[in-house]
Amino acid sequence: MRTPRDVLALSPVLPVVVLDRAEDAVPAAEALLAGGIRAIEVTLRTPTALDAIGRIAERVPDIVVGAGTITRPEHARQAAQAGAAFLVTPGVTDAVLDAASATGLPLLPGAATVSEAMRLAERGLDTLKFFPAEASGGAAALAAIGGPLPDLLFCPTGGITAENAPRYLALPNVGCVGGTWLTPRDTLAARDYARIEALAKEASALER
């Protein structure tokens, strides 16, 4: 079983993928993998997400697929059943945390403040999603959080781009960054997998 830190170590960028059509799941995951990306987060924001996670888990075994946008306890159970290998939440409630922990899957819970991060650390969760990263003060805020909480490792997400990613990846408390920019919705709609692979190549070459 992987730890949340193992998931962050897989690639410098964790693509956050919003899939409108389940049939895009496998070719999109294959394009990301061909571009050097080893983990992906499929958000439960579309009705096809659980189906998509199942397809990727079964047919693209070399990429680790997780479920994101877990905002209700049942999402955690459904994602685990669908084959997700890790769970990501934008924020937490006790019920979501309990349900996510009960799956036994590696969990990246969302936090945007020092207090939220401290509460999660108190529960033994030391690998967090910093969300929404840019709107919460960006790399400067995350660097400051690392002062009192140096043992926490983050995957900042929300407003991250190829341009600002290096600022986060240079921080000692960042394991990887997350974002939707590798799989733009119009690129997926056009089935332009070559573009996704090119964006993935660029992203997987980012230094951390």
Contacting range for ligand 3PG; rule: CB under 6 A; set: 92-100, 115-123, 152-160, 195-203: 152-160
Does 43 contact ligand 3PG by CB under 6 A?
yes
Q: Is 201 assigned a catalytic role?
A: no
Q: Whose Cβ is closer to ligand 3PG: residue 109's or residue 178's?
A: 178
Q: Which of residues 78-97 bind ligand 3PG (CB under 6 A)?
A: 90
Pairing outcome for strands 13-17 and 39-43: parallel
Spacing of C-alpha 145 from chain mean position: 20
Q: Whose Cβ is closer to ligand 3PG: residue 157's or residue 173's?
A: 157
Minimum CB separation from ligand 3PG for residue 138, in Å?
12
Amino acid found at 118: M
Q: Whose Cβ is closer to ligand 3PG: residue 59's or residue 171's?
A: 171
Minimum CB separation from ligand 3PG for residue 110, in Å?
8
Among 158, 175, 182, 196, binds ligand 3PG (CB under 6 A): 158
CA distances from 2 to 7, 151, 200 (A): 7, 19, 23
Q: Is 74 assigned a catalytic role?
A: no
Among 53, 179, 193, 196, binds ligand 3PG (CB under 6 A): 179
Contacting range for ligand 3PG; rule: CB under 6 A; set: 24-32, 56-64, 156-164, 182-190: 156-164
- Which residues of the chain form contacts with ligand 3PG (CB under 6 A)? 16, 43, 68-69, 90, 157-160, 178-180
